[in-house]
Amino acid sequence: MTLSHRSIFVIVLIANTIIALIYLNVTLLYSAEQKLKELRAPEDEKITYRDQDIDHKKIGIFFLLQLFCPVAGPCFVGLAFICRKLFFTRPVDLTAVVFSKERVESRNPADVERESNIVPMEEALAVTDNYNLRSLMLNVLKGDISGYLSAISKALNSSDSETAHYAASVLRDELNDFRAKSNAMYNALDIADKETTGKIGVELIEYMNAFLIQDVFTPMEQENYVQMMATAAEAVYDRTPEMLLPYHYEWVALRLLETDDYKKCEEWTRRGMAAFPDELSSYTSLLKLYFKTENRDRFFGTLQELRESPIVLDQETLEIIRTFS
């Protein structure tokens, strides 16, 4: 005897209702059992049962889901239960977690208003409100400005005389400190022993590069300090070449390239390639040199060598390869 579609539908509804009622009764009984165990357990074990407590609202929602969504509801609840048991019931390792109630009082709270009003210097200089422009300059000058001299130098051409005065004053002080410190370290190289030469020379290269890369000196003074930086690097290369890292070769080469000293620039790029043939900076320094000197054959030859090498490329180099491929 075959059942009609209506009979099958009624049987499915009855079975679904029975499953939903079984779920409701089992979960409620389990919840009541956990509550009873919690009441009888010692104080130090109560938290264990409290963590396993079941939310009655969640039970009600799942019951209604199964009741009004025949077949799909029970399947969803069953699958969720299986996934929870398989993936979310593993013990948590709290050995590296520190629960401390010690309060830390900030002596220097963040200046939210000041931070929210920070804008690029180029945009700030276009502001016609002199009061706000001066306030911005003073806020900038309160921090470490050694890495922002290039942006501050643009304020020298500001229409507001006071803003231009702020910029001129800070640039004068910073550049005078740079001149004094650079000359002192450079002179110390002449009397230093082998080990000290490497230490002072590397420190001088890193210190000078941070200023020279911003191009805040006159062309003549920029060239003089680049040559001083190259001489210091030469001293380190002659005595302790192992202290020179890939970016030291790159910095010296690029600063020489900016002053159009192509001969010394190529010398340092070749040295960098010989010392670190597997570094990206060794190739990019050569590419920039050959591009600026319009040496087409060597540029594309170096580019092809880089493409065939196992070196991981950065975004800038990828763009170069896409452009010239």
At 74 the pLDDT is: 78
Q: What is the CATH number of domain 171-324?
A: 1.25.40.10
At 9 the pLDDT is: 73
Cα–Cα distance for residue pair 102/264, rounded to 1 Å: 59
Cα–Cα distance for residue pair 137/164, rounded to 1 Å: 10
41: DSSP letter: S
Positions of the chain with pLDDT lower than 50, given as ranges: 1, 51, 94, 96-99, 101, 104, 106, 114, 116
**Sequence-ordered list of residues with C-beta below 8 angstroms from that of 228, at least 6 positions apart, any chain:** 182, 186, 208
Read off the pLDDT of residues 169-203 as tens digits, 9 standing for 90 and up.
777 888 888 899 999 999 988 888 877 888 899 99
At 101 the pLDDT is: 47
CA torsion sign for 45, 51, 56, 62 is negative
Contact 278, 270 (CB under 8 A): no
Let me know how long the chain is.
Answer: 325
> Cα angle vertex 211, ends 207, 212, to 5°?
105
At 99 the pLDDT is: 47
At 180 the pLDDT is: 92
Cα–Cα distance for residue pair 56/27, rounded to 1 Å: 9
Give me the amino acid identity at 37: K
At 290 the pLDDT is: 92
Contact 137, 167 (CB under 8 A): yes
Contact 180, 208 (CB under 8 A): no
Cα–Cα distance for residue pair 175/169, rounded to 1 Å: 10
Cα–Cα distance for residue pair 77/91, rounded to 1 Å: 23
Pick the closest to residue 76 from 18, 16, 27 (CA basis).
16
Give me the amino acid identity at 125: L
For residue 116, what are the CA distances in angstroms to 77, 109, 113, 163?
A: 48, 14, 5, 21
The reported pTM is 0.56
Cα–Cα distance for residue pair 275/290, rounded to 1 Å: 20
At 1 the pLDDT is: 46
**DSSP secondary structure, 68-133, as one string:** HSTTHHHHHHHHHHHHHHHHS-SPP--TT----------SS---HHHHHT---HHHHTT---HHHH
Q: What is the domain partition of the chain in residue ranges?
A: 5-87, 171-324
| Structure tokens given for 208 | 């000078």
Buried b (16+ CB within 10 A) or exposed e, 111-130: eeeeeeeeeebeebbeeeee
